């Protein structure tokens, strides 16, 4: 293998047999065998994964829950063995799938340090040499003779981390280690990463926190449904990852909206019927739209008879119940004529709104009959706005022109 | 050869010793008498069996030093039962390690067996004291005792590898093994002297049981030469059957364990 490569994964696939019911007994097996049915289902977790990680690289593996990233991590760490394909590791690899693996609550802090050290490959003498440093770093001098079960969870993590960073290894595999601990602890983690990075060690970070990927990783791999979507620079992977969610959210909203439309009320007197609601941006139908770019709400009503003087109105309500917009066909003319059959009404709206989920209310009135309601419904459609880049959101985000001048 | 070296690497030794230490520390956690139980338990067992079988039922009246003869049998059988019993659940019990870090799986089983071995050593000290108090003549035959212990250890280890791996998938194994151990206890002349089996065929079959062979040999070697052993009964190749059986169990257990160990992490 090329000397520059730390980890090489070639055409790796992995599937798990998921039992339909707990058939972990001999009876279950005998029964299953007699009935000639398979008591399990093959779940393909990873399919044909290939990639290389160079020495000294800080490499990210990202993906959503269930995308197979933890399985991939365990394969790289040689905890699982692949069904097919091969994984070559060049150098000593230490996985940290969890901090404090093997910690026993009934043992003292001291005993746990030695046990944990042994799991990392340290002998007793080596541990003797490091022991004081570990305890000092964890700031637990007074507690070492107490049983671990009397430690707070924060103390346990500190102790585990202090041992973990002693690991003398070439390749470090980290799984969401950052997810635990307070800010001070996370800072310690970051400092440690920086140090290890400087030492030229290879680090593989598995996470769904794009912040840490962008901060540390140069390259990353995006997994989705057990397949590699892309390997690339961490900013590009991170954008792709957010888009993945966007698409999903879009689909979810679409399905919800279809149900909303089906359940929207029918006015028994007028028999006015809402037949369709669409949200358009850049002439494309979307449920998740970009901030600061205008959009169109398009309604379709089916009427049994022609209404000469009608008004169609809509409200936009944000996630907190604030009415953000109330508008109607009066913006076009005092009344509009709606015909028997299907009518299309479009509202083009300046997008001054902030990131939130919005719900649409709609009403149709007959002005020749003193504004009688022909149709009224709340929450006929929901959509989302995304893309405001400020940490603090105001109710509206209109376009703002900024000019700079300098006068001395 | 490189493989063999890897088995005994520095890291593996360190890990093994730490695991054994942990087992040992945790064993009598929270009990008042602590390690003394390691000695007390077999002694109390011995006391019961002694009262029932030697005093009431008058077993072994024709065997010199029968109480020690009985004690040694119990100690050796307990070692075997404890070792296999502890190893059986060892892989499942250490599931957290197996699922989260890469350590050689066999170390877990071996560490469980070594805990039992330590207990055996403590018990043998008690046996030694009794031998001394009873004024038994120790002959050069005692030098062969380690060989008998090695046999039991090897048999136990082979079975342990098999059981611990099978237990990961089939939890019935522990119940089955309990029954097998109970049957084995009576299929081995521990509480009764083998001379009580008057049917010669049965006696011969019993002597082919590897545990019988090892225990009878041990008794022959340190308690009294007046012991029927496998070697004194069979003069042909059949005398080697127990040893062959042990070797087969060892290899088969090891192979099965190695094959199954690849998927421990996902099966647990």
pTM (2 d.p.) = 0.77
pLDDT tens per residue across span A164-205? 888 878 888 888 765 666 777 778 877 888 888 888 889 898
Chain A closest CA to B100's CA: distance in Å?
6
End-to-end CA distance of chain B: 32
Q: Which chain B residue shows the shortest CA-CA distance from A175?
A: B100
Q: Which chain B residue shows the shortest CA-CA distance from A19?
A: B267
Q: Which residues of B touch A110 (CB under 8 A)?
A: none
For residue A346, give the nearest of A250, A272, A281 by alpha carbon: A281
Q: What is the pLDDT of residue A25?
A: 62
Q: Between chains, do A79 and B102 touch, taking CB under 8 Å as contact?
A: yes
Q: What is the pLDDT of residue A34?
A: 57
pLDDT at B175 over 60: yes
Read off the pLDDT of each residue in A21-40 and give the average, rounded to a whole number. 60
Q: Which residues of B touch A101 (CB under 8 A)?
A: 96-97, 100-101
Give the residue with greater pLDDT, A336 vs A37: A336
Encode A26-61: b = buried (16+ Cβ within 10 Å), e = exposed.
Answer: eebeeebeeeeeebeeeeebbbebebbbebbbbbbb
Read off the pLDDT of each residue in B88-93 and give the average, rounded to a whole number. 93
In this structure, the number of other CB atoms found within 10 A of the CB of residue A350 comes to 12
Q: Is A394 exposed, middle or buried (0-12, 13-18, 19+ CB in 10 A)?
A: exposed
3-state secondary structure of A48: strand
Residue A351 DSSP symbol? -
Read off the pLDDT of each residue in B50-71 and give the average, rounded to a whole number. 85
Q: Between chains, do B101 and A102 touch, taking CB under 8 Å as contact?
A: yes
**Nearest-angstrom CA–CA distance, A264 and A279:** 17
pLDDT at B2 over 70: no
Q: What is the pLDDT of residue A331?
A: 92
**Nearest-angstrom CA–CA distance, A284 and A281:** 5
Q: Label residue A181 left, alpha or beta by phi (over 0 means left) and psi (-120 to 50 means alpha).
A: left
**Nearest-angstrom CA–CA distance, B31 and B122:** 18
Q: CB–CB of A335/A312 below 8 Å?
A: no
Q: Which chain A residue shows the shortest CA-CA distance from B25?
A: A107
Give the range with max mean pLDDT: A193-197, B54-58, B175-179.
Answer: B175-179
**Nearest-angstrom CA–CA distance, A220 and A235:** 9
The answer to whether residue B58 neighbours chain A at the CB level (below 8 Å) is no
A342 DSSP β-pair partners: A302
Smallest Cβ distance to A115: which of B18, B96, B170?
B18
Q: Which chain A residue shows the shortest CA-CA distance from B263?
A: A80
Phi, psi of A295 (to 5 degrees): -140, 170
Please calculate the CA angle B214-B220-B225 and round it to the nearest 5 degrees: 160
The whole-angstrom distance between residue A281's C-alpha and the CA centroid of its chain comes to 24
Chain B closest CA to A157's CA: distance in Å?
16
Q: Which residues of A touch B29 (CB under 8 A)?
A: 106
Q: CB–CB of A203/A196 below 8 Å?
A: yes
Smallest Cβ distance to A107: which of B10, B15, B25?
B25
Read off the pLDDT of each residue in B24-36 and give the average, rounded to a whole number. 82
Q: Between chains, do B19 and A106 touch, taking CB under 8 Å as contact?
A: no
pLDDT tens per residue across span A46-83? 999 999 999 989 999 988 888 888 889 999 988 888 99
Label residue B250 by pLDDT band (50, 70, 90).
Answer: very high
Give the residue with greater pLDDT, A41 vs B104: B104
For residue B264, give the nearest of B116, B113, B90 by alpha carbon: B90
Instruction: State the pairing for strand pair A40-54/A5-19.
Output: antiparallel
The answer to whether residue B258 neighbours chain A at the CB level (below 8 Å) is no
Q: Which chain B residue shows the shortest CA-CA distance from A110?
A: B22
Residue A321 DSSP symbol? S
pLDDT tens per residue across span B134-148? 888 888 888 999 999
**Nearest-angstrom CA–CA distance, B178 and B181:** 5
pLDDT tens per residue across span A85-105? 999 998 888 888 887 788 888
| Range in A111-115, B104-108, B132-136 with the lowest mean pLDDT | B132-136
Could you give the count of Cα atoms lying within 13 Å of A112 in the half-sphere of its Cβ? 31
Chosen for mutation from B18, B168, B264 (greatest number of chain A CBs closer than 10 Å) is B18
**Nearest-angstrom CA–CA distance, B172 and B118:** 28
Q: Between chains, do B15 and A26 touch, taking CB under 8 Å as contact?
A: no
Q: CB–CB of B259/B169 below 8 Å?
A: no
Provide DSSP, A181-223. Answer: S-HHHHHHHHHHHHHHHHTT-EEEEEES-HHHHHHH-SEEEEE
pLDDT tens per residue across span A296-314? 999 999 988 899 999 999 9
Q: Which chain A residue shows the shortest CA-CA distance from B93?
A: A102
Q: Between chains, do A77 and B265 touch, taking CB under 8 Å as contact?
A: no
Q: Between chains, do B171 and A24 touch, taking CB under 8 Å as contact?
A: yes
Q: Which residues of A touch B265 (CB under 8 A)?
A: 74, 79-80
Chain A closest CA to B185's CA: distance in Å?
25
**Nearest-angstrom CA–CA distance, B53 and B18:** 41
ipTM comes to 0.83
Label residue A35 by pLDDT band (50, 70, 90).
Answer: low
Q: Between chains, do A77 and B29 touch, taking CB under 8 Å as contact?
A: no
Read off the pLDDT of each residue in B154-180 and give the average, rounded to a whole number. 95
The whole-angstrom distance between residue A309's C-alpha and the CA centroid of its chain comes to 49
Chosen for mutation from B6, B9, B10, B14 (greatest number of chain A CBs closer than 10 Å) is B14
Helices (H), B170-229: 173-186, 200-208, 210-222
pLDDT at B59 over 60: yes
Label residue A330 by pLDDT band (50, 70, 90).
Answer: very high
Read off the pLDDT of each residue in A375-399 and give the average, rounded to a whole number. 84
**Nearest-angstrom CA–CA distance, A387 and A292:** 8
**Nearest-angstrom CA–CA distance, A143 and A155:** 9
Q: What is the pLDDT of residue A359?
A: 94
3-state secondary structure of A140: coil
Q: What is the pLDDT of residue A383?
A: 93
pLDDT tens per residue across span A354-375? 888 999 999 999 998 888 888 8
Q: CB–CB of A190/A212 below 8 Å?
A: no
Q: What is the pLDDT of residue B106?
A: 93
Q: Between chains, do A77 and B102 touch, taking CB under 8 Å as contact?
A: yes
Using a CB–CB cut-off of 8 Å, the residues of A that contact B are: 16, 24-27, 29, 74, 77-81, 93, 95, 97-98, 101-102, 104, 106-107, 111, 114-115, 117-119, 121-124
Q: What is the pLDDT of residue B1?
A: 44
Q: CB–CB of A181/A210 below 8 Å?
A: no
Q: CB–CB of A12/A81 below 8 Å?
A: no
User: Helices A183-198 and A153-164, interaxial angle, to 10°?
Assistant: 10
Phi, psi of A360 (to 5 degrees): -110, 130
pLDDT at B58 over 80: yes
Phi, psi of A300 (to 5 degrees): -125, 125
Chain A closest CA to B170's CA: distance in Å?
5
- Output the CA torsion A382→A385→A386→A392 (10° steps): -120
pLDDT at A41 over 80: no
Q: Is B215 exposed, middle or buried (0-12, 13-18, 19+ CB in 10 A)?
A: buried
pLDDT tens per residue across span A115-132? 988 888 888 888 898 899
Smallest Cβ distance to B101: which of A101, A122, A124?
A101
Q: Between chains, do B19 and A118 touch, taking CB under 8 Å as contact?
A: yes
Q: CB–CB of A352/A397 below 8 Å?
A: yes
Q: Between chains, do B15 and A121 touch, taking CB under 8 Å as contact?
A: yes
């Amino acid at each position: 293998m090329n000397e520059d490569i730390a980890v090489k994964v070639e055409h790796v696939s992995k599937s798990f047999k998921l039992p339909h019911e707990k058939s972990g007994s001999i009876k279950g097996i005998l029964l299953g065998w007699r009935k000639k049915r398979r008591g399990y289902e093959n779940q393909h977790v990873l399919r044909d994964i290939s990639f290389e990680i160079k020495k000294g690289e800080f490499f990210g593996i990202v993906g959503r829950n269930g995308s197979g990233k933890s399985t991939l991590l365990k394969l790289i760490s040689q905890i699982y063995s692949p069904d097919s394909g091969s994984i070559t590791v060049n150098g000593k690899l230490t996985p940290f799938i969890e901090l404090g693996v093997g910690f026993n609550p009934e043992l003292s802090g001291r005993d746990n340090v030695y046990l944990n050290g042994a799991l990392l490959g340290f002998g007793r003498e080596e541990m003797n040499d490091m022991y004081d440093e570990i305890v000092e770093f964890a700031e637990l001098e007074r507690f070492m003779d107490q049983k671990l079960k009397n430690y707070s969870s924060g103390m346990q993590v500190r102790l585990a981390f202090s041992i973990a960073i002693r690991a003398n290894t070439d390749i470090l595999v980290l799984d969401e280690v950052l997810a635990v601990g307070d800010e001070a602890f996370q800072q310690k983690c970051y400092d440690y990463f920086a140090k290890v990075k400087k030492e030229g060690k290879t680090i593989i970070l598995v996470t769904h926190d794009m912040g840490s990927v962008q901060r540390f990783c140069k390259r990353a791999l995006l997994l989705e449904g057990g397949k590699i979507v892309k390997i690339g620079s961490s900013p590009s992977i991170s954008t792709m990852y957010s888009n993945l969610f966007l698409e999903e959210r879009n689909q979810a909203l679409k399905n919800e909206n279809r149900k909303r439309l089906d359940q929207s009320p029918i006015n028994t007197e007028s028999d006015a019927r809402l037949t369709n609601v669409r949200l358009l941006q850049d002439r494309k139908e979307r449920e998740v739209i970009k901030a600061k770019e205008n959009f169109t709400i398009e309604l379709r009503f089916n009427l049994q008879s022609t209404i000469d003087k009608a008004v169609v109105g809509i409200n936009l309500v944000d996630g907190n119940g604030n009415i953000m917009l109330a508008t109607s066909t009066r913006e076009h003319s005092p009344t509009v004529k709606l015909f028997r059959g299907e009518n299309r009404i479009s509202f083009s709206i300046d997008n001054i709104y902030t990131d939130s989920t919005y719900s649409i209310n709609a009403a149709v009135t007959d002005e020749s009959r003193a504004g009688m309601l022909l149709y009224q419904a709340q929450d006929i459609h929901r959509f989302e706005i995304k893309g405001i880049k400020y940490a603090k959101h105001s109710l509206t985000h209109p376009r703002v022109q900024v000019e700079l001048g300098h006068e001395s | 050869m490189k493989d063999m070296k890897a088995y005994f690497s520095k890291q593996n030794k360190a890990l093994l010793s730490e695991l054994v230490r942990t087992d040992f520390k945790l064993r009598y956690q929270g009990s008042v008498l602590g390690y003394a139980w390691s000695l007390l338990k077999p002694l109390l067992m011995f006391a019961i069996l002694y009262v029932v079988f030697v005093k009431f039922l008058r077993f072994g009246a024709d065997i010199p030093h029968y109480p020690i003869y009985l004690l040694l049998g119990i100690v050796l059988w307990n070692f075997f039962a404890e070792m296999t019993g502890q190893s059986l659940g060892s892989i499942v019990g250490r599931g957290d390690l197996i699922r989260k870090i890469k350590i050689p799986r066999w170390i877990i089983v071996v560490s469980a067996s070594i805990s039992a071995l330590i207990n055996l050593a403590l018990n043998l000290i008690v046996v030694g004291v009794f031998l001394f108090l009873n004024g038994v003549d120790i002959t050069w035959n005692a030098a062969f005792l380690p060989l008998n212990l090695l046999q039991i250890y090897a048999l136990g280890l082979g079975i342990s590898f098999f059981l611990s791996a099978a237990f990961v998938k089939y939890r019935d194994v522990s119940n089955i093994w309990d029954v097998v151990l109970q049957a084995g206890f009576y299929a081995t002349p521990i509480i009764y002297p083998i001379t009580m089996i008057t049917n010669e065929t049965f006696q011969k079959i019993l002597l082919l049981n590897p545990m019988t062979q090892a225990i009878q040999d041990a008794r022959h070697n340190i308690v009294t030469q007046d012991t029927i052993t496998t070697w004194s009964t069979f003069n042909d190749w059949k005398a080697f059957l127990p040893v062959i059986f042990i070797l087969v169990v060892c290899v088969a257990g090891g192979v099965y364990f190695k094959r199954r160990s690849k998927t421990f992490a996902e099966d647990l």
